[in-house]
Amino acid sequence: MAEEAKKTNPHKNWPRIAKGGGKKACSVAGCKRPYRAKSYCFFHFKKWRQGELPHSRYRTCSKADCRTKVLKGGLCEKHYNETYKKEAAAAAA
């Protein structure tokens, strides 16, 4: 009996129903799939979780074209060190 339980996956036939009854579409331009979460369809929601969409799941660096996660002061670790190490070096000199 334990072998039968291992073979059958209870989630395999689980219905993946879109929220809103399929009446609301994904918020990505040109996508007509019904939305599932965060106003994205299942495909774009996965891309959002992986950080591949412009609206990432965490705050990103405020420097142009840098989409790295914020460390401190609205900047990523690289840009924070560039900005504040220069100021500290100038103040010490």
Average confidence (pLDDT) over 53-69: 76
Percent of the chain with pLDDT over 70: 63
Element holding 53 (H helix, E strand): none
User: Averaged over 73-89, what is the pLDDT?
Assistant: 82
Predicted TM-score (pTM) of the model is 0.45
Burial grade of 44 (CB within 10 A; 0-12, 13-18, 19 or more)? buried
Dist CA 80 CA 46 (whole Å): 30
